[in-house]
Structure 1
């Protein structure tokens, strides 16, 4: 039983299978993609970029790495691992993709939870090269790829478990790469997620988005769980990192950011919904 890199990659230019030859991935048409010395591969064609450096910035990734590695979201990671692993039979093999993997925290926690119980072939995809670089630096067992959820460089029907945690789901692509009977796990912010921080940085709060009752096309509901607890931040750096790793850093105005910068401690609610869907 082991953790190993997922290999069924597809060429982002023509969709043909990619085969690894040393430090290069190649397809039959001759397209080639180098594996960076840090251990990740860039499979996002320049014509598919919407900006020069898309996705999370280097600073945002660093803040998220510090915050998550400190264990503040450990209950969320534990719930994700339980939803993915369940109670596997001996000899189980799972191909797992984290679409929007960030700096790889949840895949690392999943690998730790799997232990010696089963074999997992892991792939982490993110549009931010800074995120993928950080993920590769922390664990080289999964395959780490710079790519977009809108065009996953993955062969059809090769994934057993697909994670999209606080990311941007593209259900048609997810349905394409999942095996029939495969499962999709989404994590999204609940109505009270980080409420105390949001009350400080915004003049008023918008109503929370109600969870959709309809399953995405091509999927059916398997269940919904909630992870909810209070997080006590007792250092200025912890509060700063929490804000810096979220989109609120860019959405809040100058007054709200100044209020957040003055905080020395903060008790904040974590409220996360985990939604499981089966592939029809």
Structure 2
């Protein structure tokens, strides 16, 4: 794919620019980070971890990969790619903050390639299992990094877009790394997203949270969008993958998980909200 190499990485220890060598990345102070055989670099120092193995587990990543590669969330990927690539300058720099196993960024790269755009893409996730899977699937489509949204290993004011898909936004960090006029694009679940599954696994559903989102400091609000449609899932394995890839697996009661495991077919509501903020 015709993406541009991502060159704005920063040392997670001192914030200095990282340069790429034959074996990995290094900053002027001599901090070095080896490139893994799978084609990614780990920029999450042990002192920045809150647990020994943070982020999604190997099982969650595998389930998400199977579910997404089957195309069930392709309309969501198309919505995200359209929003990121709209009015994007040639060779702009984009970060997928919480990239998971890389599906959405790969779809974005493919769409950019079709349109003749060549952005520099960075996929970052705190889960090493997710980043390993992303790099294995397509190392040439982006630079893949293990890192944290709370301490992005990216130089200040170097990004044109930050994409945050169902993730954990850290607005001060996003504001720090975006250029003035750059866009933060977030996709989150709407109140009815996967409602039918939630009704099965929970004794009752909580009242939906307000859809009004405060404008983060350093940003101005842009236009939002929504996506809503029905999705039919066939087979217990596919339904199990959906449940495994979401936090609902750990929040559900044992009885709720058992009810979900007994399903062979399920019609779901997909309800997603896209929010834009522009760096001022």
Q: TM-score range by the shorter chain?
A: over 0.9
Partner of 1:109: 107
Provide the residue aligned with 2:160 in structure 1: 160
Pairing of 1:1-280 with structure 2 (within 5 A): 2-87=2-87, 92-115=90-113, 116-141=115-140, 142-280=142-280
Tell me the secondary structure at the aligned position of residue 260 of structure 2: helix
Q: Is the 8 A contact 1:97 1:124 kept in 2?
A: yes
Conserved 8 A contact 1:161-1:178: yes
Distance 2:279 2:241 in 1: 36
TM-score (normalizing by structure 2): 0.97
In the TM superposition, residue 223 of structure 1 has moved relative to its aligned partner by: 1.0
Aligned-pair distance for 1:235?
A: 1.0
Displaced runs of 4+ in structure 1, greater than 2 A? none
CA–CA separation in structure 2 for the residues paired with 1:79 and 1:265: 26
Query: SS at 2:150's partner residue?
Result: helix
What is the CA–CA distance in structure 1 between the aligned matches of 2:246 and 2:213, rounded to whole Å?
26
Distance 2:34 2:91 in 1: 28
CA distance in 1, matches of 2:22, 2:211: 46
Q: RMSD over aligned Cα, in angstroms?
A: 1.1
Supply the distance in 2 between the matched residues of 1:67 and 1:173 (Cα, whole angstroms).
30
Distance 2:24 2:91 in 1: 26
SS of the equivalent of 1:173 reads helix
Q: What displacement does 1:213 show? A: 4.1
Over residues 80-137 of structure 1, what are the superposed CA-to-partner deviations in whole Å (9 max), with x where a residue is unaligned? 1111112557xx2221100000000111110111124211100000000000000000
> Does the CA contact (< 8 Å) of 1:5 and 1:123 recur in 2?
no
Distance of 2:5 and 2:220 partners within structure 1: 29
- Tell me, in whole angstroms, the C-alpha distance in 1 between the residues paired with 2:10 and 2:40: 15
Runs of 5+ unmatched residues, structure 1: none
Q: Distance in 2 between matches of 1:88 and 1:187?
A: 19
Count, aligned residues:
278
* CA deviation profile, 1:129-160 (whole Å, cap 9, x unmatched): 00000000011121000000000000000100
TM-score, normalised via structure 1 length: 0.97
Q: Bigger shift: 36-45 or 107-116?
A: 107-116
Is the 2:4–2:91 Cα contact (8 Å) retained in structure 1? Answer: no
> Are the counterparts in 2 of residues 223 and 275 from structure 1 also a CA contact under 8 Å?
yes
Aligned partners of 1:134 and 1:214: how far apart in 2?
Answer: 34
1:45-90 CA-partner distances (Å, limit 9, x unpaired)? 101111110000000000000000000001101111111112557x
